[in-house]
């Protein structure tokens, strides 16, 4: 039989694959090397290389975005830090979308600083506050779905919210003037993390999506601060007030 080149190549490959050796580890050893910073000399060349980038980053992150008159603390259900963040969120999305957003809601676990203020609020603090790359979504709800959201927040024990106030003794949604919800559509801004089921917010997937990606949450918060919207929220209970 005459061996053609394809047959010959195939035969050689088959022989090579059949002749490989399988290696197995006989033993594994591990050891620890203790490093003490006090005994480690700085590499001056490396420090000089990094220093311009370090200085540039510190200048940007130290940029003042606004001033707070008192400390805002993260807590539930009515933490001032959460309410302030939700207010910035709603104002920023309203500005980007060109329409008044009725409600903003965030999950409390997404806020990663225990407090901000008093004094200036820096860009670096906002990165610490919101270190995740969460994207912003804009949803549409009817009055029944607003009630569904309100009931979830009441059962959950509260989350940062703007435009909504919950009565302690009942699940009742009212506008700022005390009037009941009307039979109209409401807009809600949230994050893609929440919409995709994070922190048990999976029910949001039943709401109509108006805009699926409005940018990074952190960028929108910084935009709001750059526009001078840094006012601290009043000491109030905020659940279920739609204004």
Q: Counting Cβ atoms within 10 Å, is residue 32 exposed (0-12), middle (13-18) or buried (19+)? A: exposed
SS3 211: strand
- Do 171 and 110 contact (CB within 8 A), yes or no? no
Q: What's the confidence (pLDDT) of residue 174?
A: 53
203 pLDDT exceeds 50? yes
> Taking a C-beta distance cutoff of 8 angstroms, is the pair 105, 86 a contact?
yes
The DSSP symbol for 134 reads P
Q: What is the per-residue pLDDT for 241?
A: 43
- pLDDT, residue 243, reads 43
Tell me, what DSSP letter sits at residue 3? Answer: P
Was domain 59-242 assigned CATH 3.40.50.10490?
A: no
Asked whether the beta carbons of 106 and 195 are under 8 A apart, the reply is no
Whole-angstrom distance, CA of residue 131 vs CA of residue 233:
23
CB 118, CB 178: distance < 8 Å: no
pLDDT at 48 over 50: yes
Across the range 79-100, mean pLDDT stands at 94
Pick the closest to residue 107 from 141, 140, 128, 132 (CA basis): 132
Domain boundaries, the chain: 59-242
- Read off the pTM: 0.77
How much is the mean pLDDT over the chain?
85
> Are the C-beta atoms of 65 and 104 separated by less than 8 Å?
no
**Residues 40 and 205: beta-carbon distance below 8 Å:** no
Distance CA 217, CA 231 (A): 19
Q: Is 191 exposed, middle or buried (0-12, 13-18, 19+ CB in 10 A)?
A: buried
pLDDT in tens, 162-175: 888 776 545 455 55
Give the whole-angstrom CA distance, residue 240 versus residue 151: 10
Q: Tens digits of per-residue pLDDT, 51-63?
A: 999 989 999 899 9
């Amino acid at each position: 039989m005459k061996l053609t080149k394809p047959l010959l190549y195939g035969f050689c490959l088959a022989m090579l694959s059949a002749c490989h050796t399988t290696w197995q580890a006989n033993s594994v050893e591990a050891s620890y090397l203790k490093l003490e910073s006090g005994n480690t000399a700085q590499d001056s060349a490396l420090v000089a290389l990094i220093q311009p980038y370090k200085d540039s980053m510190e200048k940007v992150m130290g940029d003042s975005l606004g001033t707070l008159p008192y400390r805002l603390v993260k807590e539930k259900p009515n933490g001032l830090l959460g309410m302030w963040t939700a207010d910035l969120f709603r104002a920023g999305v309203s500005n980007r979308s060109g329409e008044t957003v009725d409600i903003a809601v965030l999950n409390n676990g997404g806020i990663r600083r225990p407090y901000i203020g008093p004094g200036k609020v820096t860009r670096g603090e906002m990165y610490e506050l919101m270190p995740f790359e969460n994207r912003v979504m804009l949803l549409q709800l009817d009055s029944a779905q607003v009630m569904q959201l309100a009931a979830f927040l009441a059962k959950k024990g509260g989350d940062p919210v703007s435009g909504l106030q919950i009565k302690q003794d009942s699940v009742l949604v009212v506008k700022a003037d005390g009037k009941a919800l009307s039979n109209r559509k409401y807009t809600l801004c949230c994050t893609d993390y929440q919409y995709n089921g994070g922190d048990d917010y999976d029910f949001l997937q039943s709401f109509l999506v108006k805009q699926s990606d409005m940018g990074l949450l952190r960028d929108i918060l910084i935009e709001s601060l750059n526009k001078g919207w840094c006012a601290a929220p009043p000491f109030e209970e905020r659940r279920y007030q739609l204004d």
